Chains A and B, each alone.
Chain A
Amino acid sequence: MLDGGEGEARRFAMAIVVRMAEVSGAERLMDITQAHVDSTIYLGDATLEFAERLASMGARVAVPTSLNVSGVDECGWKEWAVTPEWAAKAARQMLAYERMGAVPTWTCAPYQTPMRPSFGQQIAWGESNAIAFANSVIGARTERYADLLDICCAITGRVPAVGLHLDGNRAGQLLVRLAGVARELQEDDQFFAVLGHLVGRLAEDSIPVIDGIVVRPPEDQLKAFSAAVASSGRVALFHIVGVTPEAPTVADAFQGREPDRTVDVTTADLRAARCELTTADGRELDMVILGSPHFSVEEFRRLAPLVEGRRTHPRVQFLVTSSRLMKELAEQAGVLAPVVAFGARITLDTCILASPMLPPEIRTLMTNSAKYAYYAPSLLNTRVTFGSLADCVRSAVEGRVVRDESRWQT
């Protein structure tokens, strides 16, 4: 590939993969059987130029490849503050990756599509929440791939054989023990997002193992944890004892080794972490935003009965970011109609962080997503309140922030 015998695109991509192998100290390259490309996010001229250069060189992906969110809701952007120039360039970047033969999934939750990988599968995934989920919840094998490299791996089908691709590097390093955290709190639908936010910060550059979970979290809670832990931190792999596949026991999670560090997490620590996710004071509210990572059909199924027969307050917007597939599934399941009747709008392909879609009058957000809560204040210059799904609905109805604090107050 490196000599250009397989075309210019493969030579370009392989040169980058080989340079990264040198940087990471890899002794060899290895095959992957799937990729998820985060380079789809349009930021400006450089990301577009990179995509179009690859496409114009005739790049084709060598393995089944899903695509992350783009910079624009291809069909719905005109309803928002996106400029035509941005929309056109973001759409060109989408087209460039489609031309390479990738599947236009346009979602940051590819693990909830038919392209979900399987346990032990060697993959190259970008998108921090998806990396953490694929490694930890599914037990697939991916390094923490960045934009610009993920597509090079997809084009070559090869990756440096390092890091989390190798079983021996997947042992836990940091033991996080829940100390007296009640089952009732663990059952709260904010719990895993809050815990993820806290663990991301505690983990630094280590692989955390969480011990003391007594509930069986649904998949969307583990998704919320993955997004949170990979926003406040750099976690690409975590183990939850008794929950995730490489951690039936603490000893399994550490592969029989001793933890480098042990940290006890108390209910008070979790309360403090939850407070960190809220930057707004007061009860003002302009928009409720759900769906980072993209809202799943199961989440629509949970939302529908909460909004049934209710209406959003005229002053408050209600936005759900999701994928084309999940919207279609929700529609088929009859759980989209009540959400739309409630007054919610649905944005596909992208999200409020990846597309400049919010008008400037949106100053205060409320969300149940730790990832939205983490990034919105810096990226969008908005204030944010974190709360449960039910809190978000109730606040949208009342037109001001209302939170049920009963499980979170001392």
Chain B
Amino acid sequence: MADVISGRAIVAGEAAGEALVAYEALSFWGGYDFHTGEIIDRRHPLAGVRAAGRILAVPFTKGSSTTTAVLLEAVKAGTAPAAILTTGVDSFFALASIVAEAMYGKAFPVVALDPADFARLRTGARLTIARDGTIREADGP
């Protein structure tokens, strides 16, 4: 990716971490083990990968309404992603972060990107996210 992407901060916050990118939607219920922070949906390309503390980029949620509750459990357990990047506004991710703030004072940034910008993200890149939704790739390994 180029050095800077301007995203729209849906839930503002700062985060830094390694990007984990997929183009398939994800349900956290049946898709994310909040005990381990691992993606467990066997039909998803990131199955078996640990997303805790990383910057997870998936286009949007699918499936279960319980996705938000799984994410809230993950925030409490310390196994949530450091931030979530989407295409468009995904209200489920935003809600989980807003309730995590209300319950535990621990929101995670949720940033929406244009699909073209989303397509520039690469798994493994070291990203930092600023409160205004700006995403930067850190220099070097």
Contacts and interface: CB of A to CB of B under 8 A. Distances in A.
A144 B65 contact: yes
Interface string A294-334: 00000000000000000000000000000000000000000
Given A24-B89, A205-B60, A230-B63, A148 B77 contact: no
B45 to A, nearest CB: 14
A210 interface: no
Contacts of A375: 29-30, 64
Interface stretch (B13-21, B67-75, B119-127): B67-75
A327 to B, nearest CB: 24
Contact of B103 (A44, A53, A127, A144): A53
A148 B94 contact: no
Contact of A148 (B29, B34, B89, B96): B96
A147 B68 contact: yes
Interface string B19-42: 000000101011100100000111
A12 interface: yes
A378 B99 CA distance: 26
Contacts of B68: 146-149
A379 interface: yes
A386 interface: no
Contact of A146 (B59, B88, B91): B91
Contacts of A12: 102
B102 A147 contact: no
A156 to B, nearest CB: 14
B63 A231 contact: yes
A23 B91 contact: yes
A16 interface: yes
Contacts of B5: none
Interface in B82-110: 88-89, 91-92, 94-96, 98-99, 102-103
- The bracket for how many chain B residues form the interface is 35 or more
A46 B69 contact: yes
B10 interface: yes
Contact of B72 (A24, A47, A128): A47
Contacts of B102: 12, 15-16
Contacts, number: 125
Contact of A44 (B31, B41, B73): B73
Contacts of B30: 353, 374-375, 378-379
Contact of B67 (A25, A45, A146, A200): A146
Contacts of A149: 68, 91, 95
A150 interface: yes
A16 B25 contact: no
Interface stretch (A35-43, A98-106, A355-363): A35-43
A375 B70 CA distance: 15
Interface string A148-163: 1110000000000000
> Which residue among A24, A128, A200 has the maximum number of chain B CB atoms within 10 Å of its CB?
A128
Contacts of B40: 378-379
Contacts of B70: 43
B6 interface: no
A171 interface: no
Nearest to B103: A50
A25 B70 CA distance: 25
Contacts of B41: 378
A126 B65 contact: yes
Given A12-B102, A16-B98, A147-B67, 11 more contacts: A23-B10, A43-B73, A44-B34, A46-B76, A46-B77, A146-B65, A146-B67, A146-B68, A149-B68, A378-B41, A379-B40
Interface of A: 12, 15-16, 19-20, 23-25, 38-39, 41, 43-47, 49-50, 53, 126-128, 131, 143-150, 200, 204-205, 230-234, 279, 353, 374-375, 377-379
Interface of B: 10-11, 25, 27, 29-31, 34, 40-43, 47, 59-70, 72-73, 75-77, 88-89, 91-92, 94-96, 98-99, 102-103
